[in-house]
Every structure is written in structure tokens, then in C-alpha cells.
Copies of this chain bind each other. A is one copy, B any other.
Amino acid sequence: MSILIDKNTRLVTTGITGSEGKFHTLRNRDYGTNVVAGVTPGKGGQDVDGIPVFNTIREAVDKQGANTAMIFVPPPFAADSILEAEEAGIELIIAITEGIPAHDELRAFQVIKKNGRSRLVGPNCPGILSPDKANVGIIPAGFFKPGNVGVVSRSGTLTYQVGNELAQSGFGNSTIVGIGGDPVPGTDFIDVLGLFQDDPETELIVMCGEIGGDAEERAADFIAAHVTKPVVGYIAGFTAPPGKQMGHAGAIVSGSKGTAAAKAEALEAKGVRVGRTPTEVARIAMEILGH
């Protein structure tokens, strides 16, 4: 078993006719993901390497039974595309687009939460990979194989780094979930931790955080209350100077709040072991699970 995506995933890509949207959609299909449709307004009736293109997401749902959407449209239009997917009844919306205005994210998040019929992962995330089942997004799947370690991360490339270290130590993954580093992630650490906790295939969870916000601190509380499986943590940004924004809207330290040290401490206080480097994360995983 995996979480969120698998062989039942029926993917529609919005922005499929853009160069990035096309490139990654075809890679996802090559990996084995069931890509059933693409959407680009005004290009309905065309196809992208055999994938039918529609004008609206609703059409992709009605005609192709799409249940998962990958959002690849440019930032000014991405929230509209997310909301369109929600309205069309898409169950899982994975938003790759980076640079969506924060207030757009806020409104999209609130609508999705209040209506309660879709889950949003991202935006500004690398997507989700369930090795040998499906890959939705931009995670370079070749580095990963099926296994019993679930990975959840705020940072895209860091996910690959940590995942790669685990792979080199012989671990495979149940699912790798990039939740994104934006101000308003649709899905939080605690949502994914809950899913991994309930996933029989996942035996260990790796959680990669970074400076800024309090998502890791809230995750620590959630782990103490609800997660019985072992969790290994990693936090990027121990050496980041305070008050500077480090790329992501998320990656900013203000005062004593949101530092990597504070986050690591919060996790360790709840019994979560925290690796200081990606390599150390793999080492701790080895100690816990053995081989």
C-alpha cells in the first residue's frame, strides 16, 4: 500500500501544453502513472502525445474520470486552476507551481477546507511519488524504489537528497510526499503523518523540515499524541542567520521562533530523533530498522 497516489490514480494535468507541464506529465506517464487527460483552455480537442486535452477540468472528470489533478499553470492563474479542480470534484490536487501569491493560496486553502471534498498538496511542491505505482510531479523517480520508509518534506530538492541517502543505505519508500514550502501549504506535516501512521506498509517515517513557521513544532505534538511508528526528523537551516528570508516564503527566522535548533528540540522533546545532516538521517533509520 501507498498513500495518496497509486494504480487507481487517474491524472489530469492543467497547463499540459506548457513546456514544463508537458515534460513532467510525459515523464510521469513513462513511470507508469495513469495520465488520462490534460487541460488548457482553448486547446480542447488537441492531444499531447496521445493524451487528450480539454478546455475545462470538469470535462476531464466527466469524460476521462480524472480523480487527481497536477497543477502546472503559471502563478497568476494557478489558484484559479486549483479552485477549478476543487469545483470539478477532483479528490487530490497536487500543485507544483511556485510563486503563487500568498493571498490566492489562502483563499484556495479555505475553500478546500470548508467544502471538505478535496485534498490539496502544495503549492510549490515537488509532488508525490509512490515507487513502482505512480509518480505525480517532478520528483526524479529513478533514485527511489518501493519500501517501508515514508518521507514527508517541506522542501523539494531536500526531499531528493534525503531520499537518496536513504536509498543508498538500502531503504525503499512507501510514498514520498513533498508538501511544499509556501506560506499556506494545503497539506501539513500532521496530515501526512496521520496517513503514514495508518498505512500498513510504512514502518518508519522521515520528516524533513526547515526554518520558519511552527509546522514542525505542531508535528511534534501530533507525533506524541497520535504516531506510534518511529519518526526520524531533519531540519535544514541550523546556520541560517535570523531575519533573512532564505528563498521560500517559509524559510525565514524571526527572533528565537522558528529556528532549526528550536524545531529539533521540540521534536527531540517528544522522542523524535533528529539527524543533523541528510546522511545522519539515513544512519538513524538504519539503527532503528536495522537491515
User: CB within 8 Å of B: which residues of A?
Assistant: 114-115
Contacts and interface: CB of A to CB of B under 8 A. Distances in A.
Contacts of A114: 114-115
A114 B114 CA distance: 5
Contacts of A115: 114
A115 B114 CA distance: 7
A83 to B, nearest CB: 15
Nearest to A115: B114
A114 B110 CA distance: 10
A114 B115 CA distance: 7
Please give me the 2 A-B residue pairs with the lowest Cβ-Cβ distance, nearest first.
A114-B114, A114-B115
A178 B114 CA distance: 28
A165 to B, nearest CB: 43
A116 to B, nearest CB: 9
Nearest to A111: B114
A115 B111 CA distance: 11
A151 B114 CA distance: 32
A290 to B, nearest CB: 46
Nearest to A110: B114
2 contacts: A114-B114, A114-B115
A124 to B, nearest CB: 26
A71 B195 CA distance: 43
Nearest to A113: B114
A60 to B, nearest CB: 26
A30 B114 CA distance: 40
A115 to B, nearest CB: 7
A107 to B, nearest CB: 13
A115 B115 CA distance: 9
A58 B178 CA distance: 40
A114 B117 CA distance: 12
